[in-house]
Chain A
Amino acid sequence: MTTETKSATPAKGISRRSLLKTGAAAVGAIAGSGAITGFPTIWAQNPITLRQFGTGVSNINAIAEKCKEDLGITLEMTATDSDAAAQRAVTQPDSYDIADIEYWIAKKVFPTGVMQPMDVSKIKYYDKIVPLFINGKLKPDSVVAQGTAPHTVGFVDAQDSKAFAKEPTQWMTLIPTIYNADTLGIRPDLVGREISTWADIMDPAFKGKTAILNIPSIGIMDAAMIMEAMGNIKYADKGNMTKDEIDRTIDFLIKAKQDGQFRAFWKSFDESVNLMASGEVVIQSMWSPAVAAVRSKGIACKYQPLKEGYRAWGGGLGLAAHLQGAQLDAAYEYINWYLSGWVGAYLNRQGYYSAAMETAKAHMSEDEWGFWVEGKPAKGDILSPEGKVMEKAGAVRDGGSFEERMGKVACWNSVMDEDRYMVRRWNEFIAA
């Protein structure tokens, strides 16, 4: 059933999605095995304990330790996969104090009334939060992306309101923690040509050498990017397709599958790494830590920016409805600390992005900031937060700077109104 890992320490954040998306017992067991050493220290002298659960992205033990050190607040972290997180958030609201969930999960969870919005006047660094999460625009002239864009579920009208507000208000549902832009990974040594669009994955030249991920809610988005790039369809909203749009997308996938375009469909992080590293596929859906993992084997792998833009995802921290008094104060204190820079720098160094970039900058070296955020060539070796060399001097981040990457988001991970229908059709695609 639910794979739960207490206080998982995903090495370099790599096991993030293998933990949270697959829900496969086997994968959970593998990812969980690394977490056995990671039990949080129980500090008996401190009365404040916050129980944080969620999709594991930012359930990083180093953060809990630093939080204890800086604030004296004990964090008990539990990681689950995203479907289980949504379920637990709704059905066991007393089992957690802070929910660390993705925005599309919040769209399902918040309206059920198990969480309380946060008063932005108590959020010290509110004005430092990247505007992407406030009004959906990274820069004033940016276009708002499709899907469950964070700002569309980021606010409610009043403290006791369960309906999302159209404009930023004083009441915020989730404080963004971690987000990133996903694209296709390629083997530059094997594709033999420039890759510039999502449609390239359907190139007959790559027949039998492509893969997409078999997680319906994300796979359908990648498929939508491909469909639109090929000019087959123009979606009103990729993140909320109509039944007809779902049908056309799945029919297209089934046809491509039967023509032998795909080599495999992967479900877990390590499967995607192996497919790429062994040369079974040369172009596929991928997550950024997986690209790093392939490269760490000494194999060329590129997280290729594409002209149609990225598929983005993001998560944040929300407060349980039952929090009050000292615990509520502690939760605000924790969130303020979270945005104050140390955590942001940690996350940026993992290749993700933090919500308050400005505060994170103070905690990063100039070279680190230049490489991770500004897209400049690294002057020295770039180290992961654990001190492992991730990139050698001279390397440039795929896709370039923060603004180039997050400014080109075409759609956000989302939950569709026709979710159940989509999943049913997706299963037909896999069985076809």
Chain B
Amino acid sequence: MTAVTTSGEMKAGKAPRSLVAPRWLTAYLQATPLLLILGFFFILPILMIIVVSFWDYDFAGLYPDFLTMNYTDTLGSWVTWKTYLNTLKFTVLTWALTLVIGFWVAYFLAFHIRTTTMQMVLFLVCTVPFFTSNIIRMISWIPVLGRNGLVNSALIKLGVIPEPIEWLLYSDFAVVLALVHLNTLFMVTPIFNTLMRIDRSLIEAARDCGANGWQILWNVILPLAKPGMAIGSIFVVTLVMADFSTVQVMSGGQSASVALMMKNQMSLLQYPAAAANAVVLLVVVLLMVAAILRIVDIRKEL
């Protein structure tokens, strides 16, 4: 039951044995609150977005209609494609980096720290940056990376470089750095969770059979950590695909992301165009999540 809850895959059919009401009724009753909440706050808004994406608009208002213009405009423009490619680039880079870093942090916590208390203490240390808002964590990079920032002035004073390095800030590097910084914990947590639940006797058995450290890691731990990695990947991919503030701030407005494009449209009151964009983004992200779930069957492996 706990496993089901953590994965966020609460399903209606998992009713416990009931004594009074018929099984099917209990099941439906138990599912009702979630259904209502999701219906109101998730399905209804998405339906509205889909409906609005077909509407007509001008600066003064929205006009109910059924036009495919918003979609043809969106999909027919090279800006959209370029922006999607750019967003995908950020997503892939961030995903790969957070996966590697996240896995090693989780691995260290799970297998190299002996006491549970210490594990929890160190895990909390990982969450310390989250005590501040992610906007502040992101903006705090600016004085570090800037032309006259900490890194550049330190390197110049040490005589390592004669001129400040320009690409540290307001560049793709800065965007990816900030995104990795912001999102690694979303990878650490689920992976740590799965690693902690690996039966230690499996590792002993592997060792008894003569496997060395790398073989154990590759053949035992990694396959068993796949569900955690998949969940972490879903977090990171969806968060980065929908990001607008990090890309805007860290690229100095020089780079575009899909969500930023939507935000621009909304600030110009082009809601139907933004809605069409949102639907396209939703489809893309759902496909990505589906692909992740296809590679790793989370339910089976938990």
Give the interface segment out of A131-139, A359-367, A423-431. A423-431
B245 close to A265 (CB less than 8 A): no
Q: From residue B38, how far is it (CB to closest CB) to chain A in Å? A: 23
Residues in A with CB closer than 8 Å to B264 are 427, 430
Query: Which residues in chain B, 66-120, are within 8 Å of chain A measured between CB atoms?
Result: 77-79, 82-83, 86
CB closest chain-B residue, reference A415: B59
Q: From residue B161, how far is it (CB to closest CB) to chain A in Å? A: 16
B12-56 Cβ-contact flags toward A at 8 Å (1 or 0):
000000000000000000000000000000000000000000000
A431 close to B83 (CB less than 8 A): yes
Tell me whether A257 is interfacial, beta carbon within 8 Å: yes
- CA of A263 to CA of B146 in the docked complex: distance in angstroms? 11
Residues in A with CB closer than 8 Å to B181 are none
A267 close to B254 (CB less than 8 A): no
- CA of A26 to CA of B133 in the docked complex: distance in angstroms? 12
The total of chain A residues at the interface (CB under 8 A) is 37
- CA of A81 to CA of B261 in the docked complex: distance in angstroms? 18
- CA of A314 to CA of B60 in the docked complex: distance in angstroms? 22
Q: A208-B166, A266-B253, A278-B146 are in contact. Are A90 and B268 (CB under 8 A)?
A: no
Tell me whether B193 is interfacial, beta carbon within 8 Å: no
B269 close to A83 (CB less than 8 A): yes
- CA of A230 to CA of B245 in the docked complex: distance in angstroms? 34
Q: A257-B254, A278-B142, A427-B261 are in contact. Are A87 and B135 (CB under 8 A)?
A: no
Tell me whether B238 is interfacial, beta carbon within 8 Å: no
A431 close to B82 (CB less than 8 A): yes
Tell me whether A159 is interfacial, beta carbon within 8 Å: no
Q: From residue B27, how far is it (CB to closest CB) to chain A in Å? A: 39
Tell me whether A301 is interfacial, beta carbon within 8 Å: no
- CA of A159 to CA of B143 in the docked complex: distance in angstroms? 57
Q: A23-B267, A87-B269, A431-B261 are in contact. Are A279 and B148 (CB under 8 A)?
A: yes
Tell me whether A33 is interfacial, beta carbon within 8 Å: no
Q: From residue B182, how far is it (CB to closest CB) to chain A in Å? A: 15
Q: From residue B292, how far is it (CB to closest CB) to chain A in Å? A: 27
B253 close to A265 (CB less than 8 A): yes
A264 close to B254 (CB less than 8 A): yes
- CA of A295 to CA of B253 in the docked complex: distance in angstroms? 24
Contact pick for B252, options A1, A23, A264, A427, CB 8 Å: A264
A87 close to B267 (CB less than 8 A): no
Residues in B with CB closer than 8 Å to A427 are 79, 256, 261, 264
CB closest chain-A residue, reference B169: A280
Tell me whether B61 is interfacial, beta carbon within 8 Å: yes
Residues in A with CB closer than 8 Å to B77 are 424, 428
- CA of A257 to CA of B261 in the docked complex: distance in angstroms? 18
Q: From residue B264, how far is it (CB to closest CB) to chain A in Å? A: 6
B59 close to A87 (CB less than 8 A): yes
Tell me whether B192 is interfacial, beta carbon within 8 Å: no
**A and B contact pairs by CB, cutoff 8 A, 19 listed:** A1-B266, A24-B267, A87-B59, A87-B60, A91-B61, A216-B268, A263-B170, A265-B254, A267-B253, A275-B252, A278-B142, A280-B146, A280-B170, A423-B268, A424-B79, A427-B79, A430-B253, A431-B261, A432-B82
Residues of A within 8 A of B (CB): 1, 22-24, 26, 81, 83-84, 86-87, 90-91, 108, 112, 208, 211, 214, 216, 257, 262-267, 274-275, 278-280, 423-424, 427-428, 430-432
Q: A274-B142, A278-B149 are in contact. List 20 more A-B contacts (CB 8 A).
A: A22-B267, A23-B266, A26-B135, A87-B269, A90-B59, A90-B60, A208-B166, A264-B254, A265-B253, A266-B252, A278-B147, A279-B146, A279-B147, A280-B146, A280-B147, A280-B169, A430-B253, A431-B79, A431-B82, A431-B83
